[in-house]
Amino acid sequence: MPLKLYHIDSTIFHPDNMAIIKGDYSFHKELFRFFKMNQGEEESIKKINMEFISGKGYTLKNIVKTDYIFTFSAPLFSKKFVHCVGKILKDEMKFFPCKVICKGVALDWYAAQVIHLFPIVDKELSNYDLSSGDVASEVIKYRKDIEEKFYVARDSEIISEFVVTNLFKELCEENNLLIKIKDPIDR
């Protein structure tokens, strides 16, 4: 049976439920290149003290009610998430310690790099131009015939796009992880 593909989100419903990197644009660009584009040196990233500022939708009470926070630089996962499933996902994701600053308090989180690349985009049904550099405005359709078993992957060409599968969803449910799994994607 083919895998179902999903996007994920924070379980905190608020217009500002994301985080931003603390630092200047060049720092954001370096993290984006490493975490979203799989470019750059892992050793240099390990030396960085990454700090992210949580959005206004987070409080010290509710931030513990999610195990995922979106950022433009890198997907963030809670310490609980990495403790519960980090070893299971070691061939598909790498985790790097970071801090999420929420209401002035530094919390231990992890920035994640999805290292599993797989052709998840249906090239025949999609309309995108990799040379334009603006994939977001194009039409991307995902394959519905994926038989290979995996939890999370980036597309092998549009590597800034990542998805999770029904196996990831089951793993989160089994470990009581608080991540919103969006409806199966077909955009």
114, 125, 122, 123: which is closest to 160 by C-alpha? 114
DSSP for 76-143 reads: EEEHHHHHHHTTTTTTTEEEEEEEEEETTEEEEEEEEEE--EE--B-TTT-B--GGGS-GGGSB--B-
pTM of the shown model: 0.91
Q: Distance between terminal CA atoms of the chain?
A: 21
Domain ranges of the chain: 5-181
Beta bridge partners of 127: 139
Q: How does pLDDT run along the chain (187 residues), one tens digit per residue?
A: 889 999 999 999 998 999 999 988 888 889 999 998 889 999 999 998 999 999 999 999 999 999 999 999 999 999 999 999 999 999 999 999 999 999 999 999 999 999 999 999 888 887 766 555 555 546 778 888 999 999 999 998 887 778 999 999 999 999 999 999 987 665 4
